Structure 1
Amino acid sequence: MAGNCTNSWETNGTRIGYLNVTCELPIRYAQPMYGYVVPFLLVVTIIANTLIVVVLSKRHMRTPTNAVLMAMALSDMFTLLVPAPWLFYMYTFGNHYKPLSPVGACYAWNLMNEVIPALFHTASIWLTLALAVQR
């Protein structure tokens, strides 16, 4: 693994914390996956789910089943859309080697890459279960 994987450094007697994303995943796999594959999947996901939402939101298409399907499409789209700005910044634009600082940015990284996508993904799973129960 390349780089120093400590999450703080000391300068003038002050310890400064930061997030080093190259320590989270092997960068030789993370860079192509998050930097090139995920942007392609993001575009495909946004186009497909936007079309699904447009079709299912028509007045004559409004049924309870279609409401669940539309919510699933939105949930799946947000699962990928929320972490996208960070993935673009870190991996597509090649900033993964820079420490992420200040601490607020580290919290935002964690929230937008771990917490919120997991929430939307879990919602999508529950909506799939709701659809199965409804059927």
Structure 2
Amino acid sequence: MLQVLDIGSKVDDTFPYWLESLLELQVLVLHSNQFYGSVWSCSKMKHYFPKLKVFDLSNDRFCGPLPAWYFKDLNAMKDVSEADRKLQYMGESYYQDSITVTMERLQLELVKIITTFIAIDFSNNNFHGEIA
């Protein structure tokens, strides 16, 4: 039932593929760690992060290509129903979720995460090639 996961800095490891089994995950922030290697090569899941809306892998040491097939299952980023557009915040019923995001080199702290907020940040890694 985990919806928000923000892993603080100082983690030195490969991409934690087990996270893909968290089907309720809406926010995944792994930025500013020492993660390395490919994000895609060892994945065994058929559907990846079906509810993910914020995916931040910035400022790590990930490498390899960015395959288009991985992005096609990020349906929560593509389809926003009319019901999802009303003003709601993640974690409102149990506690207040917050994250820090970087946009145009400006760090912003979102003290509340609105459910319609969508972001992908893979900057400052060693990805290469086209998203193909």
- TM score, norm. by length of structure 2: 0.22
Flag the structure with higher strand content.
2
Tell me which of the two structures has the higher relative contact order, counting C-alpha pairs closer than 8 angstroms and 6 or more residues apart.
1
Flag the structure with higher helix content.
1
